[in-house]
A and B are shown apart, each in its own frame.
Chain A
Amino acid sequence: MIMFAIMPLWHWKGGQNPSGIRGRTTPQEFRQRTERFIQEYQVGTEKGIPVVQPPPGADLYLEASMWSWRPVLKLKKGASYTLHLSSFDINHGFSLYPMNLNFQVVPGYDYGLKVMPNRSGDLRIICNEFCGVGHHIMTGKILVEE
């Protein structure tokens, strides 16, 4: 009975839910949106991948493709953002290390999650859905600053 009640209750009171804003997109459309986002807020480049620093409250676009996460995100602790996840090719898995926060990334779908980083640090994104022979080198980066 407790178990029946606790899932709806957590939606109402709890801080971690996988609901998000779910929408359809196309790989091309999402890529364009991500490129626009990068142009707007780019502050540098790391390992050939653009680093962006959007203001608190912004919509973040993170594109998964074989085998990288683009771009690198610089966020503020305690600020809230909407993180949009999608894939350019096949299924990927968003796994934030070391928080162990996991979401499925599906091509053609825009998964918009409201996030609020609660600690500063240099975080990694691991791909945890098999995406071909380069799956194990597919890592990305999120920096959270005070």
Chain B
Amino acid sequence: MISFRTCPVTGLKIESQAASLLRWHAVTAVVHFLIGVCAALLLALTRWQAVHLLPADWYYRILTAHGLNMLIFFIIFFEMAVLYFAGPILLNCRQPAPKLGWLGYWLMLIGACTTNYFVFAGKADVLFTSYVPLKAHPAYYLGIILFAVGALISTLLFFATLVVARREKTYTGSIPLVSFGALTAAIIAVITLVHGALIYVPTFFWSLGWMQLDPEVYRMVFWALGHSSQQINVAAHVSCWYLLAALTVGGVVLNERVSRTAFFLYVLFISMASAHHLLVDPGVGPAWKVWNTSYAMYLAVLASMVHGFTVPAGIETGQRLRGFTQGRFQWLTRAPWGDPGFSALWLSLVIFGFGGGITGVVIGTEQINIIAHNTMRLPGHFHMTVVGGTALCFMGVTYYLLPLIFRKRVAFYKLAQIQPYLFGAGITLMGIAMTYAGTFGVPRRHWDVSFTHAPFPVQFPPVVDLFLAAMGVGGILAFLGGISYCLIAVASVFFGKTLSDEEIRSGGPGLPPGVVRLPRQTHSQEQADEAHRQGNPGTVVLVVIFFVCFVLYYFTNWKVLSMLWKVG
């Protein structure tokens, strides 16, 4: 039985099965986020050397759980929700084969629960990467395989949706940019999941003693999964940037073709960029390293930089069309900073670009990796990309999904308004502190950097303690932001009253401004000409600042590297 309702805000037709699948994936994502964020607090309080909370075995156990629940379970559940949104809902069509959708969902859930059980039972202290020949209980690998199969089913359903929508002509022209971005994410997801099968299935057999596995081959194929999966995140959250920009300030897409080409670059080059995890490995040669990490990776980075320009520029133009035309920056100063959808979008953009982006390109350079590999610079970098970028953006999306899809008010709206700032500030502080600590050679994934029981003691300079403390404080702030997010989401979904169309249209507390009055999405020719004449003087300044930071950081690192031992 197919039933549709028409969204009172956007006019989209929403099919009940698609909405239901979306809701369950999103809620399950938040539950995994909750596990991950509690683990995060324990880890931050352990690595803050002055507190040093957990014992060694539990530190590594919780670290394993944190990585899996955040990087795999939370993010992929949420991405499946994004696919259901960008598929049947944005394309105005029915959900094909909803039963298969539920099969995918249950496989993912059973897989996630199995793996989590064996991790918390202490049967799989192998960390997220589970580098062979470090061995976990076979069920650990089996759980991840089930999860991946479930995700693959949901992804294939998204492709089926595209076919259905095209055949039933539920949209005109090409698919919307947000769906296009989601399509990119879905294609990368398939590549990723195939690599996932290629590595976890043999590892599962190996853990049962059925076959041999080479440690270096494992590392290479694992990262084809591990890093590509981060590109699903990037493609998905960039799509969400465009979505949030449109919903919150009527952000325009300046040039569809440029944005689409940039998405396409992700698909082409991202698997190869995974090579930057092996830059200081013995298994592969310099030509392979340089080729994959420069020529391939820089084209993927170029794609991110294109989005990093077009999204703020689209926001600027959208704001200028709404009348904020004074000076270079009135569009920014008069932006809806109290709208959690907008603040999350903007902070995500800034943290991802300035924090995660710059550090990522620099430490992914073949030689500079020598002074970065496995130090805290790594988690510093990816907390600013995945957490400050992806997770924060998804939080912003949540504040719009709650009224539009769940038909609920955002509970504790005042808290929701400060939540993105709290979370963003925490992650930024933590990311920067980790990056600096790593610059002194502080290792990541390490229980005790005071080396109390080590045969040859190592004494880091006192400033490292300061950075570790800052990391702890940042971690606590981010935890408070994260837990507020869970609280708001859970309270809204389970304890909120379902709103009628009339109530959503008439506004009231707990409804973000873009929901109450959706900014204009289409403009007349005169308006477009005027926008074109004004251009994006504000964004240009921001881009110049970005490049200055980037160049300074890049060459500082080469300078530091040149002072080391000669090695080659």
Q: Across the two chains, which residue of chain B brings its CB closest to A98? A: B441
Say yes or no for A128: interface residue by CB 8 A criterion: yes
Q: Across the two chains, which residue of chain A brings its CB closest to B362? A: A3
Instruction: Please report the C-alpha to C-alpha distance between residue A107 and residue B282 in the assembled complex, in whole angstroms.
Output: 10
Instruction: Please report the C-alpha to C-alpha distance between residue A99 and residue B441 in the assembled complex, in whole angstroms.
Output: 8
Say yes or no for A39: interface residue by CB 8 A criterion: no
Residue with the greatest number of chain A CB neighbours at <10 A, chosen from B129, B289, B451: B451
Q: How large is the interface on B (under 10, 10 to 19, 20 to 34, 35 or more residues)?
A: 35 or more
Instruction: Please report the C-alpha to C-alpha distance between residue A86 and residue B281 in the assembled complex, in whole angstroms.
Output: 11
User: How many CB-defined contacts (below 8 Å) exist between A and B?
Assistant: 219
8 A Cβ contacts from A38-80 to B: 47-49, 68, 80
A132: B residues at CB distance < 8 A: 125, 134
Say yes or no for B229: interface residue by CB 8 A criterion: no
CB distance from A124 to the nearest CB of B (A): 5
Mask of A85-104 contacts with B, CB within 8 angstroms, 1/0: 11001110101111111111
Given the known inter-chain contacts A18-B280, A95-B443, A130-B60, please indicate yes or no for A108 contacting B215, CB distance below 8 A. Answer: yes
Say yes or no for B507: interface residue by CB 8 A criterion: no
Say yes or no for B94: interface residue by CB 8 A criterion: no
8 A Cβ contacts from B270-300 to A: 278-286, 289-290, 293-295, 298
CB distance from A84 to the nearest CB of B (A): 10
Say yes or no for B121: interface residue by CB 8 A criterion: no
User: B568 touching A114 by the CB < 8 A rule?
Assistant: yes
Instruction: Please report the C-alpha to C-alpha distance between residue A46 and residue B280 in the assembled complex, in whole angstroms.
Output: 29
A106: B residues at CB distance < 8 A: 215-216, 219, 281-283
Say yes or no for B445: interface residue by CB 8 A criterion: yes
B281: A residues at CB distance < 8 A: 104, 106, 109, 111
User: B568 touching A130 by the CB < 8 A rule?
Assistant: no
User: B454 touching A138 by the CB < 8 A rule?
Assistant: yes
User: A136 touching B451 by the CB < 8 A rule?
Assistant: yes
Say yes or no for B266: interface residue by CB 8 A criterion: no
Mask of B99-117 contacts with A, CB within 8 angstroms, 1/0: 0000000000000000000
Say yes or no for B131: interface residue by CB 8 A criterion: yes
Q: Which residues of B contact A (CB under 8 A)?
A: 56-57, 60, 125, 127, 129, 131, 133-134, 214-216, 219, 278-286, 289-290, 293-295, 298, 361, 365-367, 369-375, 439-441, 443-449, 451, 453-458, 554, 558, 561-562, 564-568
Known interface pairs A14-B561, A18-B279; 17 further A-B residue pairs with C-beta atoms within 8 A, sorted by A's residue number: A4-B294, A7-B366, A11-B290, A14-B562, A17-B286, A90-B133, A99-B565, A102-B375, A103-B280, A104-B219, A114-B567, A115-B567, A118-B565, A126-B441, A126-B451, A136-B451, A137-B454
Q: Which residues of A contact B (CB under 8 A)?
A: 3-4, 6-8, 10-11, 14-20, 22, 47-49, 68, 80, 85-86, 89-91, 93, 95-111, 113-118, 124, 126-133, 135-141
